[in-house]
Amino acid sequence: MRPNPDYARTVRTLWGGQADRVPPLELIVDDEIKVSYLGRPIATVADDIDFWYQAGYDCAIAYPDSPSMWFFLEEERPDTILQDANTASGYRRWASEGQGLIRDWGDLERYPVPSLDEIDFSYFDAAKQHLPPGMGLIGAWGDIFTYTWEAMGFETFCFALYEREDFVAHIFKALGKLAVQICEVLVSYDMVKAFWYSDDIAYRTGRTFNYI
């Protein structure tokens, strides 16, 4: 296959139009898949964009980096790492089903929702010089619901919805504010052609994408 990226093809299709062909679209492709496809490590932004290009995508999909996001600290807990023979690494991370890091206001002070200045947009800064002609970026963020229950543990989260609704609402609002701020930054980049908000909660009354 000879790559022929055209971000307008994807945008037209997302608006309900008909392009010259169906554009492939994927929110996340695991690094182990990218490495296997390219036959080399994904060490730079250029490597990552080359995967999306060689695989026939019109746009590379990218999240800004967020090393300070407190909910990912769950990865250090042994009960959240499960063996899985269906993955290349032999294991996968699973969120706590019982009690997570955030149980009360004191925990939230120790592991606060990050501010915008803790979010790293360097991928988008570097992408401009590596995008092949015709290719765009889709900026991604979201998971207000998912990040909250993962931080609390699903059981703790469910009880808190009934017993401490104000606490859950506070985290939702803080993450929602951060998501809006991140979106505003992402859409300021000329090469970002769409914003993909994602979350693990389903509904049928709205669009997944906000188009630019």
Strand partners, 136: 59
Tokens of 81: 């790492």
What are the per-10-residue average pLDDT scores of the chain (212 residues)?
Answer: 90 92 91 92 96 96 82 54 60 72 90 90 94 95 87 91 93 93 94 89 57 44
Tell me, yes or no, if the pTM score tops 0.85.
no
The pLDDT value recorded for residue 204 is 63
Instruction: State the burial class of residue 171 (Cβ atoms within 10 Å of its Cβ: 0-12, 13-18, 19+).
Output: buried
Alpha-carbon torsion, ordered 127, 176, 188, 52, to 10 deg: 30
Q: Going by C-beta distance under 8 Å and a sequence separation of 6 or more, which residues neighbour residue 100?
A: 71, 74, 149, 150, 151, 152, 153, 156, 157
pLDDT at 202: 63
N-term to C-term CA, the chain: 29
Strands (DSSP E) along the chain, which ranges?
A: 59-62, 81-83, 91-93, 136-142, 192-198, 209-211
Smallest CA-to-CA distance from 114 within 75, 154, 164, 67 is with: 67
Residue type, 92: R
pLDDT score of 80: 57
Nearest to 167 by CA among 154, 153, 148, 180: 148
